[in-house]
A and B are shown apart, each in its own frame.
Chain A
Amino acid sequence: MRRFSTRSLPPRLADLEQEIKGYAKEFGLDFYEVIFELLTYDEVNMVAAYGGYPNRYPHWRFGMEYEQLSKGYEYGLSKIYEMVINNDPTYAYLLESNPEVDQKLVMAHVYGHGDFFKNNFAFQHTNRKMMDEMANHATRVRRLIDRIGIDKVEDFIDRCLSIENLIDYHSPYIKREPSSQEGSEETPVRGLRNDREYMGEYINPRSYIDDLQRKAAEDRDRKKRFPERPQRDVLLFLLDHAPLEPWEQDILAIVREEAYYFAPQGMTKIMNEGWASYWHSTIMTTRALKDSEIIDYADHHSGTVSMRPGTLNPYKIGIELFRDIEERWNTGRFGRDWEACDSLAERQTWDKQLGLGRQKIFEVRKHYTDVTFIDEFLTPEFCIDQKLFVFDYNDKRQTWEIASRQFKAVKEKLLHQLTNFGQPIIEVVDANFENRSELLLVHRHDGIDLKLDDARHTLQNLQSLWRRPANLYTRFDGKSVILRFDGQDHSDRKAEL
């Protein structure tokens, strides 16, 4: 890639870069150095297929991604405008064939992302040298391929990827107690009844008490579950306890590390895109835009934040929510007085001229993720303004239809969609299930069933990693079941845990 040769934007773009960067700094955006690279559309598709990284380990799914992206581009269905990588320095890509106004817009957008990456708390634990780390992963996997063969390695990667969403998204932010406390506590045991303290040595000799203590400890160990408490980070659990070969461990560790690296981006999709859109729109409309460029800008910007019916565009909802917050904190539409006011006329003209908006949104971009962002700042007025609705599948009519426009319903559904990435919560609860070293996972059912065929396939992959039968406790149609794959066949049985 060009990155490894001397990097130079053509003079005109380099000038624009300086100009836009100046505006971004002027507004107080704070980012690592941003390195822009100019790519042809084919290169953009390639880099995008690798998730933005010029160096990834070989795997067919990147080829699939590439095929889909290039086809989308050929058919005129999609076009990648911007790509930016959370790294220090931050890398971003510009599409060579874009007109100048688009390049400016993309740059402004990228500085927004750069600021978000650097400052949002969810990214604090991410590896800022991920560009290099990814390249290391690529080298490690390539070496394994040379040694073991592409088919075996790729097949194993498939299995790991199948469970890559079974990580504990919150673990980087929570300090949990170590799960194993072997020998750290003495079991209190009582010897034989003894009313006379001076007789103690005779009635309950030291050796007898020790004996009792040992027995009690054995007893406890036998009852103790393994893992002691449910473990959300299934990948880590397998890494520690599954009978994997060293090369398999290596790959699993790589997949896990990359999953954790990408997790914050998933947790802040709405905020991150909203923040970047807010800044490209602010910078463009107040500073960078020339009169002659307004039409093109408006066209592009409205494309970015357009809504297809029935879908939620994170760019749109994000930018609107940031603007809404800014407006509310500028005019003082928050806090106890505002909540208590029930005069419609008063509310409509409410303006305390606080001017705290800008400051507030900078604060929000630092301390929130999508879940808390929506939970705290989504208001009934906003739902109405943005025409939000909940949709459901109508089995009788076999179509998706609008189910509700109630604020409560919309908020609940949104939060549910965002919690744990909108993915089911599944934990390892027993690695010695029914005393047969089988693996038992539990799906914390929250009203929505799993997709059954996928669940079975995934179970198959878990079994192959654990090398013993794998079980999943879940619910279908209101009934509790344990799905099981023993290496040969699937079976399920009704069960309550």
Chain B
Amino acid sequence: MSLKIKQDHARFKAIVRGKIKQNLRKFIQKGEMVGKQGKDLITIPLPTIDIPHFRYGAKQQGGVGQGEGEVGQSLGPGQEQPGEGDGKAGQGEGQHLLEVDISFGELAEILGEELQLPKIEPKGTDRIVTEKTRYTGINTVGPESLRHFKRTYKQALRRQIASGTYDASRPVIVPFREDRRYRSWRTTPQPEAAALIVYIMDVSGSMGDEQKEIVRIESFWIDTWLRHHYKGLAARYIIHDAVAREVDRETFFHTRESGGTMISSAYKLAAEMIEKDHPSNAWNTYVFHFSDGDNWSADDTRLCLEIVKERILPNVNLFAYGQVESPYGSGQFIRDLRESCNDDERVALSEIADKEAIYGSIKEFLGKGK
């Protein structure tokens, strides 16, 4: 019996997965998943997995209830559809919003499939994280549960033939104790690649709430994807206007300053951070910078490009720059970057006009499989 329901359960999960895929573009730009993440699971509402029926619209229908209260008193906002308790009899179900839990890993896989993202090949192995048990050979002693039947049989056959006790007309093989063979194993330390994401964001006055929301959503998906590839993932956050400083995640998404913009300050800080704490032989480093593309001066931009080329690129898997469109930005910076280092495999540039563009932008960033 258990098998039967497992099958139906798996079919249901496959349908859910398909639905998520179908709606991924919508989910990505909505940001409701960002808000709903638990520890390892995320809850996704799927409005249309119910089988449709001819049924009444709930709001006109109303219903009968029981309890205290005056006429005109509200039944409370949490009551999505109070009539359900009654109409639910038999197979006539009331409609309900289906919420499904899905793990980050699975979500990342769906994301990868849908966006056709290539798998990342981590570079540099270091930092032992797990021990892995592997079956490495065959032994003459061991627990019965690990007995290798085929090898045992072969061994017995070999012995019987060698000793002349094998009778081809009556091919019965009786293994002796000495014939028995067992699987043997070895525990090997499994090296896990360490990875670091450095998020940099321009928080000058021109980056408004909508722009930040875009960064927040996009960084959630980047996190999800990279976490799928690296067990241990560290993230550091840098905000900058005319000066740069490192902050925690919370501050990163909620700070608003009004100064000018000196991008070089942030790049300098990032470069120092990487050189000092995260040497490239041990770390897979990803730098994501979001800005509206307005830098203080051409001189500063020149300095930026220099830092990127000489100090950042040699140490990272990917340097990604996302330009979030704002009404105030000139958008010049992405052009400068494009001119000077677009050919570099490790550079990904993307213009993000609005929330709808997040989908494409993620593909541009992660599509290189670095």
Contacts and interface: CB of A to CB of B under 8 A. Distances in A.
Interface of A: 1, 42-43, 46-47, 49-50, 54, 58-64, 66-67, 71, 150, 154, 158, 161-166, 259, 262-263, 265-267, 269, 307-314, 316-317, 386-395, 397-405, 410, 413-414, 417-418, 421-424, 426, 443, 447-455, 457-458, 461, 472
B86 interface: yes
B76 A399 contact: yes
A162 B1 contact: no
A263 B9 contact: no
B49 interface: yes
B175 to A, nearest CB: 35
Nearest to B85: A311
B218 to A, nearest CB: 31
Contact of A390 (B12, B63, B101): B63
A86 to B, nearest CB: 11
Interface residues of B, number: 56
Name the residue in B1, B8, B69, B87 with the highest tally of chain A Cβ atoms < 10 Å from its Cβ.
B8
A64 B77 contact: no
Contacts of A54: 1
A388 B15 contact: no
B168 interface: no
A58 B7 contact: yes
Interface string B76-105: 110100111111011110010010110000
B5 A165 contact: no
A1 B61 CA distance: 42
A424 B8 contact: no
A397 B86 contact: no
A313 B71 CA distance: 20
26 contacts: A43-B1, A58-B8, A63-B5, A63-B13, A64-B12, A67-B9, A162-B51, A164-B53, A262-B90, A263-B90, A265-B89, A266-B91, A267-B89, A311-B66, A314-B86, A390-B63, A392-B62, A399-B75, A399-B79, A400-B74, A410-B64, A417-B64, A424-B54, A424-B56, A448-B61, A450-B56
Contacts of A310: 65, 67, 75-76, 79, 82
A415 to B, nearest CB: 10
Nearest to A392: B62
A447 B86 CA distance: 19
Contacts of A166: 54
Contacts of B10: 63
Given A58-B11, A66-B8, A309-B75, A259 B91 contact: yes
A448 B61 CA distance: 6
Contacts of B67: 307, 309-310, 387, 389
Contacts of A307: 65-67
A30 to B, nearest CB: 23
A386 B65 CA distance: 10
B188 interface: no
A99 to B, nearest CB: 25
Contacts of B62: 390-393, 400, 403, 413
A497 to B, nearest CB: 18
Interface string B1-35: 11011011111111100000000000000000000
A316 B92 CA distance: 20
Contacts of A399: 74-77, 79
B53 A162 contact: yes
B92 A66 contact: no
Nearest to B100: A67
B134 interface: no
A451 B55 contact: yes
A418 B61 CA distance: 12
Given A400-B82, A421-B87, 14 more contacts: A47-B1, A61-B51, A309-B67, A309-B69, A391-B82, A400-B74, A400-B75, A402-B70, A402-B75, A421-B90, A423-B54, A448-B61, A451-B58, A457-B52
Contact of B89 (A259, A269, A391, A402): A269
Contacts of B101: 71
B327 interface: no
Given A262-B91, A311-B86, A389-B65, A64 B98 contact: yes
